[in-house]
């Protein structure tokens, strides 16, 4: 694991919330819950935007096409990706053009929003998850004290974790934040979500 850049992680978390804070009320509404579900699908399928277009490998493309016939958030995500990639002159994944010709025939249900206590916690959990992914991946911090190797735990008082950085940034932004342990549980809850839960095969 790379050497931790604690100050870089703090600066990132602070800047992330500065830009996100004005949208918090919007994100915690019903539509915000839809945003949470859509972004969670993209995150779980590993679909990334690169140079102004979405990179959608064959397997994620097939899974999203299947899910889009059952899930309104997946349906909207797929249409968004298609529109973005067409504007960027990037070919669509195999099968997507045919899917689009019959898309207007789908009566896609809006699923129950994920999250332990409804939309608010669902969106908040995703925000924790996105921040943690950057802090651990780019800045080299462990998610929590539990993830630190045994030698590091002896110096744990001086080694910040992603959960601590997130909590600190939320407090500085004047936003309600749970304990570090609850943040860790929320992040792992996002990682454990089954996209096809509640849908028939």
Alpha-carbon span 157 to 159, nearest angstrom: 6
Number of domains in the chain: 2
Q: Which two tokens stand for residue 86?
A: 């067409």
- pTM of full prediction above 0.85: no
In a domain, 184, yes or no: yes
Looking at the structure, tell me whether residues 128 and 187 fall in a common domain: yes
* Section 125-141 average pLDDT: 88
Spatial contact of 55 and 90, defined as CB atoms under 8 Å apart: no
pLDDT of residue 123: 73
Could you report the per-residue pLDDT of 159-196, keeping only the tens digit for each? 799 999 999 999 998 888 888 899 998 888 776 655 55
Count H helices, E strands: the chain?
10, 2
Looking at the structure, tell me whether residues 71 and 128 fall in a common domain: no
Q: Looking at 105, 138, 155, which one is the last position of a domain?
A: 105
Q: What is the 3-state secondary structure (H, E, C) of 57-77?
A: CHHHHHHHHHHHCCCHHHHHH
61: domain range? 36-105
Comparing CA positions, the residue from 99, 155, 122, 146 lying closest to residue 30 is 122
CA angle 18, 177, 165 (to 5 degrees): 65
Alpha-carbon span 145 to 149, nearest angstrom: 9
Looking at the structure, tell me whether residues 131 and 168 fall in a common domain: yes
Comparing CA positions, the residue from 199, 192, 201 lying closest to residue 40 is 192
Could you report the per-residue pLDDT of 69-84, keeping only the tens digit for each? 778 788 889 999 999 9
Comparing CA positions, the residue from 5, 2, 3, 9 lying closest to residue 133 is 9
In a domain, 200, yes or no: no
In a domain, 196, yes or no: no
Could you report the per-residue pLDDT of 79-121, keeping only the tens digit for each? 999 999 999 999 999 999 888 877 766 655 544 444 444 445 6
């Amino acid at each position: 694991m790379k050497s931790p850049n604690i100050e870089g992680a703090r600066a990132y978390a602070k800047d992330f919330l500065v830009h996100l804070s004005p949208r918090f009320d919007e994100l915690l509404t019903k539509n915000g819950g839809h945003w949470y579900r859509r972004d969670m699908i993209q995150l779980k399928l590993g679909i990334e935007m690169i140079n102004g277009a979405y990179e959608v490998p064959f397997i994620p493309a097939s899974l999203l096409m299947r899910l889009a016939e059952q899930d309104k958030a997946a349906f909207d995500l797929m249409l968004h990706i298609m529109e973005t990639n067409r504007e960027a002159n990037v070919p669509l994944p195999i099968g997507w053009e045919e899917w689009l010709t019959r898309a207007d025939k789908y009566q896609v249900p809006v699923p129950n929003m994920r999250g332990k206590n409804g939309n608010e916690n669902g969106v908040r959990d995703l925000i924790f998850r996105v921040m943690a992914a950057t802090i651990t991946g780019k800045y080299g911090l462990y998610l929590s004290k539990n993830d630190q190797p045994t030698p590091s735990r002896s110096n744990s008082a001086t080694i910040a974790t992603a959960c601590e950085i997130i909590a600190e940034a939320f407090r500085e932004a004047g936003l309600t934040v749970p304990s570090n342990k609850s943040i860790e549980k929320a992040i792992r809850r996002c990682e454990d979500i089954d996209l096809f839960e509640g849908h028939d095969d």
